[in-house]
Chains A and B, each alone.
Chain A
Amino acid sequence: MSVHHKNDMDLKQEMQLVEAAKIDPARFNVLYDRYYKSIFVFIYRRTADEDVTADITSQVFLKALINIKKYEFKGVPFSAWLFRIAFNEVNMYFRKNSTNRVVSLEKNGLHQIVQEVEEGENVDAQQRMMTALKQLDVDDVQLIELRFFEKRSFAEVGTIVGITETNAKVKVYRILDKLKKILGKKNN
């Protein structure tokens, strides 16, 4: 089970908080306290700049508060909606600024993706995998990042990116195939 999963009770409680915030924006503070750190970390892992992250995070919560009345529960935690806003804000930041994207990964995540594409498990394979990742489109890298480096469920990946769960699954497996081909070419 991923760290981002919640049980039905949690989801119900969270929905009550959302409904309260829809009526009185000041009640949003509970959700703000609960998710500030995770949204901040999500953005920081993609920008690696503290001040930029602080700016984007405040923008995310402002947009969330302005649009909270439009929020509808779709079976995934409220945080997935916040992550979606954060995801879009980060993309907007990179469109406006010509700085390089940052992908923060743990060796475990890299190890997992290396296993998925059936590569030998050694340091060289991990290095080649990183080079292969650089050859993917930005959208593909983001999907890999969400699924393997942040260990999110396909439902959550779909919500964040704005596609269905099935579509997220299909896309991730297509990207893995692409990686296999890239690594295969390199080996030949």
Chain B
Amino acid sequence: MTDINFNIDQPDLPEERINKHKDFSKLMYNYQLATKPLNKTPLHKYKHRRIYLIILLVLLVMFIIIEVMDKDEKPQEPATQEQIDTPGN
């Protein structure tokens, strides 16, 4: 069963009461707010360039460290027979 209240022959609100809520400039303001891009300043024009450079540098150093660690972890190739049977042994 649906919870419904029936309003029978109830008059609509008077026009003045309805017009009291009408405000096109408020609508336009809300529209501007809703459609304005969140980040107004493009990243490259951002004030704190130094911070971005430091972050970039840290990331670069981390990348190099990871690369070097990867190389160290690689297993060394087993020595060939020739190297083992060197003259003098």
- Which positions in A face B, CB cutoff 8 Å? 25-26, 28-29, 32-33, 36-37, 40-41, 44-45, 48, 50, 53-54, 57-58, 61-62, 65-66, 100-107, 110, 130, 133-138, 141
Contact = CB atoms under 8 A, between A and B. Distances in A.
6 contacts: A33-B24, A44-B12, A48-B10, A58-B30, A62-B34, A103-B5
Nearest to B32: A25
B28 interface: yes
B13 A50 contact: yes
A106 B8 contact: yes
Interface in B4-30: 4-10, 12-13, 15, 17-19, 21-24, 26-28, 30
Query: Chain A's interface: helix, strand, loop or mixed, by majority?
Result: helix
Contacts of B5: 48, 100-103
Contacts of A44: 12-13
A58 B6 contact: no
B72 interface: no
B34 A66 contact: yes
B24 A32 contact: yes
B14 to A, nearest CB: 11
A61 to B, nearest CB: 5
Residue from B10, B13, B27, B34 with most neighbouring chain A CB atoms (10 Å): B27
Given A66-B35, A106-B9, A107-B9, A37 B15 contact: yes
A28 B69 CA distance: 62
B1 interface: yes
A107 B10 CA distance: 10
B7 A102 contact: yes
A33 B13 CA distance: 17
A130 B30 contact: no
Nearest to A137: B2
Interface in B31-56: 31, 34-35
B74 to A, nearest CB: 55
